[in-house]
Amino acid sequence: MPHRSAAEMMPEFSKNLRKYMGRSGLTQEQLAEKAYISIATLKGFLYKGEDDPRISTLINLAVALDCTVNDLIGYRKEKRAEK
pLDDT in tens, 8-52: 656 689 999 999 999 999 999 999 999 999 999 999 999 887 778
| pLDDT (mean) for 40-65 | 92
pLDDT at 75: 80
Cβ(13)–Cβ(50) below 8 Å? no
Contacts of residue 73, defined as CB under 8 A and 6 or more positions apart, other chains included, come to: 6, 9, 10, 12, 13, 16, 58
Cβ(44)–Cβ(37) below 8 Å? no
Q: Global pTM?
A: 0.81
Cβ(29)–Cβ(39) below 8 Å? yes
Instruction: Tell me how crowded residue 1 is: count the other CB atoms within 10 A of its CB.
Output: 4
63: which DSSP letter? H
Indicate if the pLDDT at residue 4 is higher than 60: no
Indicate if the pLDDT at residue 1 is higher than 60: no
